[in-house]
Chains A and B, each alone.
Chain A
């Protein structure tokens, strides 16, 4: 049915959705670009005219810029290492035949359904509270002084909370990948004299390679924009100000829309670099 008529009909049918999506994306993008070249202070005089690349230079030369990059890298890197590492372990465990497999799998996925704000608040108040938190009780039970998680180990706490949220995603994708591994390959390796750890290293891990790439890239895109978890826990204090959070502060707290927009454009470029790699990896996956 790929006649000329059917193709133009298809285009006509798709047009509303495509136009809506394009508008949704292009309007904010163009406005961000526009603002980034302006000095725009809503509460201190409003639009003060074009300033060229001033905002871009000011954004990167600010003393908060490099710490925010560092914080972003720690959050993204830390969460990736934890989710991929534990994700592989959990996927292998969940792949073993056991009693109550269905329920266990649902339980494992559960954290993904909890809203970021809610899960961060639960962690903050129920686990990490230095007086009433479960972790504080645990520390006291062993006679240790409870850690003030969100101030003493602020970045680690954020990593922990976000990892808890994203572990189900990694586990799920890796589990499906493990399930597609031909069991005869593992048996062949067993006959060839490979002990369990080598079977994992030589057969299972290479088989998971592509799934791991996909997990890493998709998560990176979402982790770059982690916001709610920081907002409700530390509010950007104690070195937890990531690039996303810095942009938020520039726009809303310092009311400097131009400067924030310049930061936004940097973030767009960063996210798109990751997206290109992602599309290549996923595209290869589809070819094979």
Chain B
């Protein structure tokens, strides 16, 4: 249960094509993350799968059956919205019960599922409160609870953590990952945060302007980005992309080197630059280097601490075996 296949699906709003025809298969039980910059069509794609938007052309199959014209409620998918979309005038219990009530499930079964979901999500003490009386994280859990009780073929998450503060986000990220491990249900998750994508996904779909740039496991995307866009998008801090003569030396139009794959020395190295800002995180240090003649800023990441100050001259040497090369169209050269 929970196999979703998109076949030449496209979407236009009026004359504007936001999603050119694309193919994508989401395997049963997989945690798939759609990631991309804002406005890349990832939420639209999710809404197409949910059935909240009609597709302009193509087919959507869910579990082998054509679901293109099936209304959202009949697709067997549950969605968690960015704003949580809880019903403000209903108690938590009634919110969670709502989909079951609509499906006409017997009272006893409803109670059993609510109790299960509540204990799994630590909501037992809050069942009789209204959503307005809950914190952001609790509301998020209610929204997830409302999705769980339907026992859907797949869960759809639309940027569910973007309204939470940083600490809660890390916690909820873990909870959702654990939920996926426990339920083993297909999950499709939309985010613009590549850290969420890297930490949670079995498979990441990187989107840009409605097109799929690359599909793969987090580490595949990290180690072998298919093009310069994916290379720059995945990884934190971002990969340094260098154009011009330095790239041509390596027989490429663009070369990329990750901040963590650059060695730093105060005395010698391949490239030379001036330290701009050094961010000391304790475990790591990020140094933003200017005036390298390569790019505006060159970021390096070193483990541990190094004594550098603003204005110091510094020498950088990339680890040649970790260099990424891209051609003039931005495609990877192997």
Contacts and interface: CB of A to CB of B under 8 A. Distances in A.
A203 interface: yes
Interface in A221-271: none
A207 interface: yes
A190 interface: yes
Contact of A191 (B50, B82, B86, B87): B50
Interface in B75-126: 77-79, 81-83, 85-89, 98-99, 102-103
Interface in B133-160: 146, 150
Contact of A192 (B52, B73, B83): B73
Contact of A182 (B77, B85, B103, B146): B85
A192 B71 CA distance: 11
A198 B87 CA distance: 13
Chain A interface SS verdict (over half):
helix
A170 B103 CA distance: 35
Interface in A167-218: 182, 184-185, 187-194, 198, 202-203, 206-207, 209
B155 to A, nearest CB: 11
B81 A187 contact: yes
Interface size class of A (residues with CB under 8 A): 10 to 19
Interface in A50-76: none
A189 B86 CA distance: 9
B89 A188 contact: no
B73 A193 contact: yes
Given A187-B52, A203-B87, A207-B89, A193 B99 contact: yes
Interface in A128-183: 182
B73 A206 contact: no
A190 B87 contact: no
A191 B102 contact: no
Nearest to B150: A192
B72 interface: yes
A207 B72 CA distance: 23
Contacts of A206: 87, 89
Q: Which of A182, A184, A187, A188 has the most chain B CB within a 10 Å cutoff?
A: A188
Interface string B231-274: 00000000000000000000000000000000000000000000
Given A191-B72, A192-B102, A185 B82 contact: no
B73 A194 contact: yes
A194 B103 CA distance: 8
B116 to A, nearest CB: 18
A198 B102 contact: yes
A261 B103 CA distance: 61
A231 B83 CA distance: 53
Nearest to B83: A184
Contacts of A189: 87, 98
B102 A193 contact: yes
A192 B99 contact: yes
A187 B81 CA distance: 9
Given A193-B102, A193-B103, A194-B102, A188 B85 contact: yes
A188 B88 CA distance: 13
Contacts of B102: 192-194, 198
Interface string B57-85: 00000000000000111100111011101
A127 B86 CA distance: 48
A191 B78 contact: yes
B89 A191 contact: no
B52 A191 contact: yes
Contacts of B103: 193
B268 to A, nearest CB: 57
B297 to A, nearest CB: 39
Contact of B98 (A184, A192, A207): A192
A206 B268 CA distance: 71
A188 B71 CA distance: 13
17 contacts: A184-B83, A184-B85, A187-B72, A189-B87, A191-B50, A191-B52, A191-B72, A191-B99, A192-B98, A193-B74, A193-B103, A194-B98, A198-B102, A202-B87, A202-B98, A206-B87, A207-B89
Interface of A: 182, 184-185, 187-194, 198, 202-203, 206-207, 209
Interface of B: 50, 52, 71-74, 77-79, 81-83, 85-89, 98-99, 102-103, 146, 150
The 9 closest A-B pairs by CB, nearest first: A193-B73, A192-B99, A188-B85, A184-B85, A193-B102, A206-B89, A184-B81, A185-B85, A191-B72
Given A189-B87, A209-B89, 11 more contacts: A184-B82, A187-B72, A187-B79, A187-B85, A188-B81, A190-B73, A191-B50, A191-B78, A193-B99, A194-B98, A198-B102
